[in-house]
A = this chain, B = another copy of it.
Amino acid sequence: MTVTLADVAARAQVSPATVSRVLNGNYPVAASTRERVLKAVDELDYVLNGPASALAAATSDLVGILVNDIADPFFGIMASAIQSEIGGPGGRAGGERLAVVCNTGGSPERELTYLTLLQRQRAAAVVLTGGAIEDAQHKAAMDAKLRKLADAGKRVVLCGRPQAPETGAIALTFDNRGGGQELTEHLIRLGHRRLGYIAGPEERTTTRHRLEGHRDALAAHGIEEDPRWTVHGRYDRRSGYEATLELLRRDPSLTAVVAANDSVALGACAALRESGRRIPDDVSVAGFDDLPFSIDAVPALTTVRLPLAEAGARAGRIAMGREEAPPGGITSVRGELMVRGSTAGPRG
């Protein structure tokens, strides 16, 4: 049989109430008693029953982290930072919290279901990372859920995700639009006039914002965009490879390719190289995010660095109530343009 609080109490010759208080440490217990209890806990190798405790106390020490793709370092880095602040074992925080990383795979249903599951577990807080899905119906459902969580006193923090007004969520958004603009601006200043753009999945906020930034830059410089220059795909290498081939087919005269993120950019590089083009001599390539491997591409990737770890850490702290929410419950985090070898002026 499993050891219960009562067993410990019996062994320590105290009441279950006292054992509970020793374990939770929020009520005065005489030092000698405490010791006796701790000794019994140790001897019996007692492990608290989490569900029972959560039920009785009406709170749990689970914290949910929703990510779109856990195999993508973009999310891995954020999740890692969030978790380190959540105060899991060894974290800075006192209590021992269990971070629950949920991989939605970018699916609306899973996103929603995970939120319900978290709600069901009475999670103490929830952090949602990365871009949101822009389907109106889904968004309404999500907002309702978030609202409900917030109303139940859970802290809901969005990290790299646009604010959902009226949901009570705190948002740390990335300035994807500004970053996208700056990046394209950089290419335009280098002299590029025919720029391909490999966007992410259509219905993502991240995709839209980055693309808008790109177009802002084009417009600001009076460059009329050719519809053939934009291709949508997934946020992975493969997609970048395929999209680039498509772009080259549509317009072989492109002198620059801007990718939705670094992985996509790597795929683009591979495709360009296979088509016999040199980077950046024939075609410049730019990414987004500045993931660790980007600097190792050859040539190193020009990209926009997003402070993933910092933002995640902050989101984690806010979720735990250890840092104040930004005024208005929202703040935008800027990216930083990293100019490296993969971009240069077009030939001629």
List A residues at the B interface (Cβ < 8 Å): 2, 45, 47-55, 60, 62, 69-73, 75-77, 79-80, 83-84, 88-90, 96, 98-103, 105, 107, 109-110, 112-114, 116-122, 148, 152, 236-237, 263, 266-267, 269-270, 273, 292-293, 295-298
Say which residue of B48, B76, B116 sits within 8 Å of A120 (CB atoms): B48
In Å, the complex CA distance between A178 and B83 comes to 35
Residues in B whose Cβ lies below 8 Å from that of A296 = 237, 266-267, 269-270, 297
Q: Among A48, A77, A117, find the residue whose CB has the most chain B CB atoms closer than 10 A.
A: A117
Pairwise interchain contact A114-B89, C-beta atoms closer than 8 A = yes
Say which residue of B96, B99, B270 sits within 8 Å of A113 (CB atoms): B96
Residues in B whose Cβ lies below 8 Å from that of A79 = 70-71, 101, 103
Pairwise interchain contact B114-A103, C-beta atoms closer than 8 A = no
In Å, the complex CA distance between A197 and B73 comes to 26
In Å, the complex CA distance between A47 and B122 comes to 10
Pairwise interchain contact A70-B60, C-beta atoms closer than 8 A = no
5 contacts between A and B (CB under 8 A): A50-B122, A51-B51, A75-B76, A89-B107, A267-B296
Residues in B whose Cβ lies below 8 Å from that of A70 = 70, 76, 79-80, 83, 101
Majority-rule SS of A interface residues: helix
Chain B residue at minimal CB-CB distance from A240: B296
In Å, the complex CA distance between A55 and B60 comes to 13
Pairwise interchain contact B152-A2, C-beta atoms closer than 8 A = yes
Closest-CB distance, A341 to chain B (whole angstroms):
11
Residues in B whose Cβ lies below 8 Å from that of A51 = 50-55, 60, 121-122
Pairwise interchain contact B110-A102, C-beta atoms closer than 8 A = no
In Å, the complex CA distance between A310 and B43 comes to 42
